[in-house]
């Protein structure tokens, strides 16, 4: 079952005619969210990114779309399944006829899918990830690179590459050969007491967890730097992290011949879980 435009329906009952633009042209976007104890984490950050993305894609925004409305629609689905801790995906596609240029648009259609999560808290992976560079296709920096659109071929192809080469993840580079992110999350690099992450201008996704990690750096006594990262510089790092709102922080253990530790990654997750516990009590 999914929540389609406010009604619970079977996924195979969603009318394909209303999703044609998403299927034909990837004319859509999505937000992946994490629910903890029945509450959506970072709901305001998700909402503001969603609104900004819909404006960038020139999509009509339904009047009822508020943080409270989106939260309630997520709760309708989680209550139906009895999930308190879950991963949710809100998908929005432009409705209407036409080919590349939309015609007779009547707004948007949306649906929410849900998957249960075993753990309420963020947990650090026991074994460090093994990663390498993915250089077959580049991330093209620009306003569209900040949008979680349904045009995700670079991430699909990089994920296939990782699987074919026995890797847990891969790091994507832009057209200037600078490291931008991983195939499923933002990248952070710890060097001494510095926390470094690629800037949005390099093509990094405007990640919700990334946004909050920038604010939490001070509480971890780390000096934050948003700047370009070269592949060569990665081998000088003490720690490498991949972040997103569902998994939190995953530490990279091996990049080519370089091994990394996870001390600050664990400290960061301990801090974040304490914050989430306090938020859950409010």
Token representation of residue 30: 């999505």
Q: Is 157 helix (H, G, I), strand (E, B) or coil?
A: helix
How do residues 22-60 score in pLDDT, each as one tens digit?
Answer: 989 999 999 999 999 999 999 999 999 999 999 999 999
Give the pLDDT confidence of 75-92 residue by residue, as tens digits: 999 999 999 999 999 999
DSSP label at 206? -
Q: What is the pTM of this model?
A: 0.94
Q: Which residues of the chain are in CATH 3.20.10.10 domains?
A: 129-281
Average pLDDT, the chain: 94
Residue 193: how many CB atoms within 10 A of its CB? 11
pLDDT digits (tens, 9 = 90+) for 223-237: 999 999 999 999 999
Domain with CATH 3.30.470.10 in the chain: 2-116
Per DSSP, the three-state class of 9 is strand
pLDDT, residue 280, reads 62
Residue scoring higher pLDDT (196 or 279): 196
> Looking at domain 2-116, which of 3.30.70.1520, 1.10.260.40, 3.40.50.1820, 3.30.470.10 is its CATH number?
3.30.470.10
Asked if 86 and 117 touch (Cβ cutoff 8 Å), the reply is: yes
Q: Average pLDDT in the 8-28 region?
A: 90
Q: Does the structural domain 129-281 have CATH classification 3.30.565.10?
A: no
């Amino acid at each position: 079952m999914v929540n389609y435009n406010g009604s619970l329906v079977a996924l195979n009952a969603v009318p394909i005619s209303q999703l044609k633009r998403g299927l034909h042209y990837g004319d859509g976007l999505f937000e992946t969210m994490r629910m903890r104890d029945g509450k959506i984490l970072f709901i305001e950050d998700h909402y503001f990114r969603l609104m900004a993305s819909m404006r960038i894609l020139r999509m009509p925004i339904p009047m009822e779309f508020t943080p409270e409305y989106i939260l309630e629609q997520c709760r309708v689905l989680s209550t139906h399944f009895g999930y308190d801790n879950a991963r949710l995906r809100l998908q929005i596609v432009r409705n209407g006829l036409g080919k590349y240029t939309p015609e007779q648009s009547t707004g948007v259609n949306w649906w929410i899918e849900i998957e249960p999560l075993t753990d309420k808290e963020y947990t650090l992976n026991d074994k460090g990830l093994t990663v390498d560079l993915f250089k077959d296709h580049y991330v093209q920096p620009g306003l569209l690179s900040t949008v979680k659109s349904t045009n995700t071929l670079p991430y699909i192809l990089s994920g296939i590459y990782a699987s074919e080469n026995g890797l847990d993840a891969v790091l994507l580079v832009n057209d200037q050969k600078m490291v931008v992110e991983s195939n499923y999350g933002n990248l952070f690099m710890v060097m001494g007491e510095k926390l470094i992450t690629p800037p949005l201008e390099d093509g990094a996704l405007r990640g919700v967890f990334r946004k909050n990690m920038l604010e939490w750096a001070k509480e971890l006594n780390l000096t934050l730097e948003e700047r370009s990262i070269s592949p060569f510089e990665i081998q000088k790092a003490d720690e490498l992290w991949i972040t997103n709102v569902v998994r939190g922080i995953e530490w990279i253990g091996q990049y080519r011949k370089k091994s990394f530790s996870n001390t600050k990654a664990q400290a960061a997750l301990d801090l974040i879980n304490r914050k989430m516990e306090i938020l859950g009590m409010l």
